[in-house]
Chains A and B, each alone.
Chain A
Amino acid sequence: AQKVTQAQTEISVVEKEDVTLDCVYETRDTTYYLFWYKQPPSGELVFLIRRNSFDEQNEISGRYSWNFQKSTSSFNFTITASQVVDSAVYFCALSEALGRRSGGYQKVTFGTGTKLQVIP
Chain B
Amino acid sequence: KAGVTQTPRYLIKTRGQQVTLSCSPISGHRSVSWYQQTPGQGLQFLFEYFSETQRNKGNFPGRFSGRQFSNSRSEMNVSTLELGDSALYLCASSFGQPQETQYFGPGTRLLVL
Contacts and interface: CB of A to CB of B under 8 A. Distances in A.
A61 to B, nearest CB: 15
A66 B16 CA distance: 46
B90 to A, nearest CB: 7
Contact of B101 (A35, A103, A112): A35
Contact of A106 (B35, B88, B100, B105): B100
A44 B101 CA distance: 15
A50 B101 contact: yes
Given A44-B106, A91-B43, A96 B88 contact: no
B101 A107 contact: no
Interface of B is mostly: strand
Given A91-B43, A110-B42, A113-B42, A105 B103 contact: no
B43 A47 contact: no
A105 B97 contact: yes
Contacts of A111: 42
Contact of A33 (B31, B42, B43, B99): B99
A98 B104 contact: no
A113 B105 contact: no
Interface in B49-104: 50, 55-56, 88, 90, 92, 94, 96-104
B103 A47 contact: yes
B109 A33 contact: no
B98 A33 contact: yes
A45 B37 CA distance: 11
Given A31-B98, A33-B98, A98-B56, A108 B45 contact: yes
B43 A110 contact: yes
Given A108-B33, A113-B42, A45 B97 contact: no
A44 B105 CA distance: 6
- The residue among B31, B48, B96, B98 with the most chain A CB atoms within 10 A of its own CB is B98
A43 B94 contact: no
A108 B91 CA distance: 13
8 contacts: A45-B90, A47-B102, A52-B99, A98-B98, A105-B55, A105-B97, A106-B97, A110-B43
